[in-house]
Structure 1
Amino acid sequence: MKNTAQYIQSGQAVLGIEFGSTRIKAVLINQQGEILATGIADWENHFDNGIWTYSEAEIWQGLQQSYADLTQQIQDKYQVTLTKLSAIGISAMMHGYLPFDKQDNLLVPFRTWRNNFTQKSSQKLTALFNHNIPQRWSISHLYQAILNNEPHVAQIDYFTTLAGYVHWRLTDEKVLGIGDASGMFPIDSERLDYDQTMLQQFDQLISEKQYSWHIKALLPKVLLAGDNAGFLSEKGAKLLDPAGNLQANIPFCPPEGDAGTGMVATNSIKEKTGNISAGTSAFAMIVLEKALSKVYPELDIVTTPTGKLVAMAHANNCSSEINAWVHLFNEVLQAFDVNVNSQKLYETLFNQALKGSPDCGGLLAYGFHSGEHIVGLGSGCPMFIHPTNAEFNVANFMLSHLYAAFGAMKLGVDILLQQENVNIEQILAHGGMFKTQGIAQKVLASALNIPVAIMQTAGEGGAWGIALLANFLGKNNTLSEYLDHEIFIQSQLDVVKPEPTIHQGYEKFIKQYQQGIAIVQTAIEHIK
C-alpha cells in the first residue's frame, strides 16, 4: 500500500476515462495494467426536440465528477493527493456529430450515435462510396444536415466525435485515433488515413452548395495507437480538475472510440479474433483477414486502434428493455414493502431465465427503445408479444428478453459466419450484460454457436482499455506484443461453450423475431 502511494505520488500512474452511454468511468492503472483506483459518474442521454443528446454542461460535469470520485478514492485508499500522471487517454461512444464554428462554438446540440434520422444520407453515401455508411456515422449526420439545408453547415470549421471533443478541449489538439476516425469517415487501410478518393467524391457531391470548406479540412487528424496526441494544457488541467491539484503537460494518447477500447480491453486486435460489448447497445467486432466480398448494410467496416480492418455488427439496443422490466419488478416488490438489492434481483431473474423453454415457450420480445438499422427500423417501440397458446411464466418471459437483447446483433454476425465464411474460434465478451455470472454468456454463446469467453479484467471495460492505450505511449514494441507480453500474460478466461438445446431454441426464436419486425413497424407508425 505504501509503495503504491509513493508510485501514485511520483506521477507514474496512468489515467483512462471513457464516456459510456449511462456512466463516465475513470480508471487509474500502473505500468503492468493493474487497476489502482476507479471513479464513476452516472449520466443519461435525453430526447430533446427529436434528438438524442447530452448537453455540453453534462459532458464537463460528468468528466469532473468521475475524476473527483477517482481522486477521492485515491485519497481514502492511499492518503495521496493526485497531482501528476505519466499519461492520459480519453475514450467515448463512437460516431455522432459535434460541429463547431471558427470561434469554437458548438453549432447544434450533440447528435449521438443513437439517432436514426439520417437514412437518406446513409443510403446515398453508401451507394456513392460503395462502402457501408451507417446512419450513426459522423459523415451521415453531416450530409443529412446538408440535405436538410440546415444553416449551420456553412459555418462549420471542425467536427468530431465525443472523445475527439473532450481531448481537444483538454489538449488543444484536433486529432483522433484511427479506430474512432473510422466511424466518422471511411479509412484507407493501406494509407492509414481517410480514403482520398471518397473525400474527393464527397466534395464533388456537395459542390453545388459552394461551401467555403472541403471535407478533409473539417475532419480531425488521424493518429495510430502509440502516437503522441498532445499534452494537457493549463486550461485543460483546470477543466478536468477544478480543485487545481492536477499539473499540466501530461502526455495524451490518441482519443479512441468505445469499439477500439473494447478490443484492447479484451486483447482482440489480431486477425481472427473478436469481441462483443453488450450494455445499452450491443456490438460485435471481428478483426478480418481480408476485406468482405461485398457491401452489407448490416455491417460497418471500421478499424482497430492500429488500423486493421474490422467488421462491426452494431445494434443500438440491448439491455434497456431488460432494465426497464427489472425496475418494474422492483417497484412491485417495494409496494409489498419488500426490499431486494438490485444486483440480487438481476441475478435471481437471470438465473430463472435458464429454467425456461429453449424457444421461450412461444413468447416474443423486442427491446427497441430507439431505431435499429440492422432490422430497418427508423425509430423504436419496445414490445412484448404473448400469444394465447404460449407458455407464459417468469422463466420464459426473462429468457425471451435475454434472447431479444442479442437478436439484432446476431443477424449481423450471421452474415459473417454464413455468407462470408469468416472463421471465429472464440469471442471475448464484456459489458454490463455479463455482470450476472454465466447467464447472458451462455445465451450469447448458444445464440451464435461460438464459445464465449470473459476475462476477469474485461469487466473494467473501455476505461481500462483507453488507460492501456495511454500506457502504451513510448513503448518500442507493437500494440499486440505489448498486450500479449505485458498485460495479458497471466490473464484467466472463463469460457462457456454453446448448449445445443439452447441454440436450437434460439434459432426458432430468431425466425419468429424476424417475422415479427413488421408488427413493431406497424406499432411505430400508429403510436406517435
Structure 2
Amino acid sequence: MSMEVKQAIQNGKTVLGIELGSTRIKAVLLGEDHTPIATGSHAWENSYVNQIWTYSLDDIWKGVQDSYRQMAAEVKQRYGIPLQTIGAIGFSGMMHGYMVFNQAGEQLTAFRTWRNNITEQASKALTELFQYQIPQRWSIAHLYQAILNGEEHIARIDYLTTLAGYIHWKLTGRKVMGIGEASGMFPIDLNAKTFNATMIRQFNDAIAAQNLPWKLDHILPQVLVAGDDAGVLTEEGAKLLDVSGELQAGIPLCPPEGDAGTGMVATNSVAKRTGNVSAGTSVFAMVVLEQELSKVYTEIDLVTTPTGNLVAMAHSNNCSSDLNAWVGLFDEFAKAMGFQADANQLYGTLYNLALQGDPDCGGLLAYGYLSGEHITHFEEGRPLFVRSSDSTFNLANFMRVHLYTALGALKIGMDILLKQEAVKLDEILGHGGFFKTEGVGQRIMAAALNVPVSVMETAGEGGAWGIALLASYMINKAENETLEDYLNRNVFAEKAGKTVPPEPKDVAGFEAFMERYTKGLAIEKAAVAYFQ
C-alpha cells in the first residue's frame, strides 16, 4: 500500500486542502482514494486590537506555512521523498469579514473577522435596501459601515476579499472566489451564478453621493463554481507556501471556499433536499433548498453550496454548554460517593437514561442560554431549570429536557423552513459533540426536526478534507459530472452512516415541549432582568 501512495505522491496524484478556522489551521494531503496521507496543523488565536477582532497578515502566513511544513515533513518521514508536486490545491477559511487592499496590493486596514458585531446600522439599512437578509458579518455590511463611518481608507480600495480569497490571490495572482464563499460577501443571482447585478446597482446608487473613485463591481472578486479553473500556483506563490523551496509552481488551484461550503462537502450534503447540522457549543443547520424563500426572515441566513444551490442556515448560539455543566455536577456527585466514572461512561449512562424519559419530558422546562440568543431575541442569557409542582421530576426526564432544550432555539428557526415555507428535507446529517453518544443525539434531533438523521464516521474529517475534495473534483471529474454525483460515486459510496428515523411519539412529545418552551420565554426574560 505504501508503495502505491509513494507513487501517487511522486506522480502528483494527490490533492491538498488547507482550511483556516478560527482556532486552528489544518492541512490535509489526500491520496487517490480520498483518504488522508499526511496532515499538519497550527494553532492560532484572534487578537482584539482597537475594538476589532483580527488576525495579522504575518500570523496568517506563519500559520499557513507551518501547517504546510508539518504536512510535508510527515510525507518525507513516512515515504522518504520530498513533496514537489501535487495534483491540485484548495484553500478555505472562516467566511465573511473584511479585507481591503489598494492598487499596490497593500492592506488598507486590519482584517475584520466574522466575529465583529460592529455593522448593525449597515446591516439593517442594506437588508431594507435589498429586501434580502444581510447579516452583520457579511463583507458588504463591513464595507457599507466603513462608508457610513467616513473611514479615510474607503477612497483607496482596489480589492475587497475574504481570508480564503486573499490567500488564493497571493498564491495565484487571481482575484476569484468560490460561489459559496462569495454568497457570504454579497447576495448571489442563482441563475447567473454571480453577484446579483440589480443589488450591485442599488448599492452603487446608494453611495453615489460619496463620489468614490470605484464602483462595487470593480472591487469584488470574480465568482466561480466548483470544478472551475481558478488559476495555478505561481513561482512567488510556491515560495510563499513552501519556504523550503521544494514545491514546484504550476499546480492548479480550485476556487477558494468558505467553511460552510467545505462543511457541506465533508458531510455529503450538497444535493437539494439534504442538509447538515453541526451541534456542539453552538448549533447550526444548513438546508439545500429547491427554491427561494417567500420572504425575508431575520432568523434565517441565505448562502449557497459550492455549486451555487441556495442554502438556508438557521444558527443558534447555545447548544450543549449547559448540558455539559449538569453532567459535570453529576460527575462531582459520583466522586463524592467514591465512584470513578470516565467521561464516556458518564455521558453514555445519562444520555441513554434520557431515552427512557416521557416524550414531553414530564412537564419540565429548561433554557441553556449561557449567552444571548438571536432566534428568540435575547441579547443576554441565563441558564434556567423550571418545574411545576405536578411535573414528573425524575433523572430520565431531567436529562431529556436538557437534551431537548439544547435544540429549542434551532427548532424555532427550522420550523420557519419546514412548516411556514414547506421546505422538503429527505435527511439531515449530524456531526459534532452532541452526537458522540451513539444513537441518542440522533434520536433527539430526529424528534426535533421530524426528519431522518444520519451520522457518518467521516463527518469528523472537517473542512480541510472538504476543500481537498473540491480540488479533487476539479481535476478528476468526468465530463459533465456534477459535484453530487462525484462525491456519491468516488468518496461516500462505501461510507454509509447510521440513520435514525423520527419516532412519532417523540415528535409529538417535542412539539408539546416547544409549546412550554415558547410560553416560558417570559421566565427567561425575567431571569435576565433579575441577574444583572
TM-score, normalized by length of structure 1? 0.87
**Which SS does the other structure have where 2:255 is aligned?**
coil
Alignment of 1:81-92 (within 5 A): 81-92=82-93
In structure 2, the partner of 1:198 is: 199
Check conservation: 2:382, 2:528, Cα contact below 8 A. no
Task: Give the counterpart letter for 2:383 in structure 1.
Answer: M
Task: Give the counterpart letter for 2:368 in structure 1.
Answer: Y
**Which SS does the other structure have where 2:298 is aligned?**
coil
Q: Among the aligned pairs, what percent are the same residue?
A: 54
Task: Give the counterpart letter for 1:383 in structure 2.
Answer: P
For residue 219 of structure 1, report the CA deviation from its aligned partner.
1.3
Query: What does the per-residue CA deviation read over 1:331-365, in whole Å, with 9 as the maximum and x for residues that have no partner?
Result: 99999999987666665665565466655563423
Task: Give the counterpart letter for 2:499 in structure 1.
Answer: V
In structure 1, the partner of 2:444 is: 443
Structure 1 stretch displaced more, 239-248 or 351-360: 351-360
Query: What does the per-residue CA deviation read over 1:215-263, in whole Å, with 9 as the maximum and x for residues that have no partner?
Result: 1122111011111112223333333333433333221100111222222
Cα distance in 2 for partners of 1:425, 1:262 equals 18
Structure ID, larger Rg:
2
For residue 264 of structure 1, report the CA deviation from its aligned partner.
1.9
For residue 299 of structure 1, report the CA deviation from its aligned partner.
1.8
Which of 359, 362, 367 is the equivalent residue of 1:365?
367
Task: Give the counterpart letter for 1:8 in structure 2.
Answer: I
In structure 1, the partner of 2:419 is: 418
**Which SS does the other structure have where 1:473 is aligned?**
helix
In structure 2, the partner of 1:244 is: 245
**Which SS does the other structure have where 1:412 is aligned?**
helix
Which of 481, 494, 498 is the equivalent residue of 1:494?
498
Check conservation: 1:364, 1:512, Cα contact below 8 A. no
**Which SS does the other structure have where 2:474 is aligned?**
coil
Alignment of 1:117-516 (within 5 A): 117-319=118-320, 350-351=351-352, 354=355, 358-359=359-360, 362-367=364-369, 369=371, 372-377=373-378, 379-381=379-381, 383-386=383-386, 399-474=400-475, 475=477, 476=479, 477-515=481-519
Check conservation: 1:262, 1:462, Cα contact below 8 A. yes
Cα distance in 1 for partners of 2:166, 2:402 equals 35
CA shift in 2, pair 1:360/1:466, >3 Å: same
Check conservation: 1:367, 1:404, Cα contact below 8 A. no
CA shift in 2, pair 1:10/1:411, >3 Å: same
Check conservation: 2:322, 2:383, Cα contact below 8 A. no
For residue 450 of structure 1, report the CA deviation from its aligned partner.
0.9
Cα distance in 2 for partners of 1:348, 1:66 equals 38
Cα distance in 1 for partners of 2:141, 2:528 equals 23
CA shift in 2, pair 1:512/1:235, >3 Å: farther
Cα distance in 2 for partners of 1:335, 1:44 equals 37
Cα distance in 1 for partners of 2:485, 2:496 equals 18
**Which SS does the other structure have where 2:180 is aligned?**
helix
Cα distance in 1 for partners of 2:52, 2:217 equals 26
Alignment of 1:108-123 (within 5 A): 108-123=109-124
Cα distance in 2 for partners of 1:417, 1:507 equals 14
Task: Give the counterpart letter for 2:315 in structure 1.
Answer: H
Unmatched 5+ residue regions in structure 1?
none
Cα distance in 2 for partners of 1:239, 1:501 equals 58
Query: What does the per-residue CA deviation read over 1:12-32, in whole Å, with 9 as the maximum and x for residues that have no partner?
Result: 110112223343322221233
CA shift in 2, pair 1:488/1:347, >3 Å: same
Check conservation: 2:15, 2:472, Cα contact below 8 A. yes
CA shift in 2, pair 1:364/1:41, >3 Å: farther
Check conservation: 1:363, 1:392, Cα contact below 8 A. no
CA RMSD of the aligned region, Å?
3.4
Query: What does the per-residue CA deviation read over 1:377-419, in whole Å, with 9 as the maximum and x for residues that have no partner?
Result: 4x55463445686888876666555434433332221111111
Check conservation: 2:454, 2:500, Cα contact below 8 A. yes
Cα distance in 2 for partners of 1:168, 1:492 equals 37
Cα distance in 2 for partners of 1:335, 1:107 equals 58
Cα distance in 1 for partners of 2:361, 2:408 equals 14
Check conservation: 1:407, 1:510, Cα contact below 8 A. yes
Structure 1 stretch displaced more, 343-352 or 474-483: 343-352
CA shift in 2, pair 1:204/1:519, >3 Å: farther
In structure 2, the partner of 1:97 is: 98
Cα distance in 2 for partners of 1:328, 1:158 equals 52
For residue 152 of structure 1, report the CA deviation from its aligned partner.
3.2
CA shift in 2, pair 1:48/1:359, >3 Å: farther
Structure 1 stretch displaced more, 217-226 or 484-493: 484-493
User: Does 2:11 match 1:10?
Assistant: yes
Check conservation: 2:289, 2:310, Cα contact below 8 A. yes
Check conservation: 1:363, 1:396, Cα contact below 8 A. no
Check conservation: 1:283, 1:315, Cα contact below 8 A. yes
Query: What does the per-residue CA deviation read over 1:457-484, in whole Å, with 9 as the maximum and x for residues that have no partner?
Result: 2221222211111001133222233223
Structure 1 stretch displaced more, 392-401 or 167-176: 392-401
Structure 1 stretch displaced more, 238-247 or 5-14: 238-247
TM-score, normalized by length of structure 2? 0.86
Cα distance in 2 for partners of 1:160, 1:405 equals 35
Query: What does the per-residue CA deviation read over 1:157-210, in whole Å, with 9 as the maximum and x for residues that have no partner?
Result: 222222212222332322110111011111111111111110010111122222
Cα distance in 2 for partners of 1:398, 1:304 equals 36
Cα distance in 2 for partners of 1:208, 1:354 equals 62
**Which SS does the other structure have where 1:472 is aligned?**
helix
Unmatched 5+ residue regions in structure 2?
none
CA shift in 2, pair 1:111/1:225, >3 Å: same
Query: What does the per-residue CA deviation read over 1:502-524, in whole Å, with 9 as the maximum and x for residues that have no partner?
Result: 43443344444445556666777
Aligned residues: 526
Check conservation: 2:318, 2:368, Cα contact below 8 A. no
CA shift in 2, pair 1:198/1:470, >3 Å: same
Check conservation: 2:373, 2:381, Cα contact below 8 A. no
